[in-house]
Amino acid sequence: MAVLKVASNANAALTLPAILAAAYVTHQGGEVDITFEEVDHLGSDKDAVELATDTGDRLIGDAIFAYLQDFDCTGYLRVDQAYRDGQPAVMFNIPTRKEASSNT
């Protein structure tokens, strides 16, 4: 299982896209665990997010999205309530037109 580690005190613009991508992969049946650390950045590289893959590779930046794109994802998620103070994020699945038309 892949693990996405997030610096929860970092700028949300840096962390939210990776969190949403990992949450959506998990929603679609993939296995990505998301952990939050109460820090401004992770490690000496000052990254806001990092992904540890099943094989032990450490990915940062755009490499995270390249890894997550290998999963079959359709639609997207809308954040209704962001994660804060130990409260879970609340997200809604919004299907794409292609996915919605195949369900009718």
pLDDT in tens, 14-54: 888 888 888 878 777 778 888 898 888 887 778 889 998 88
| pLDDT tens string 75-104 | 667 788 888 888 888 887 777 655 445 555
7 vs 45: CA distance, rounded Å: 12
**What pTM did the predictor assign?**
0.59
Separation of alpha carbons 54 and 35, rounded Å? 15
The whole-number pLDDT of residue 64 equals 85
Give the model's pLDDT for residue 75: 64
For 4-13, how does the pLDDT look when each residue is reduced to its tens digit (9 = 90+)?
Answer: 999 988 888 8
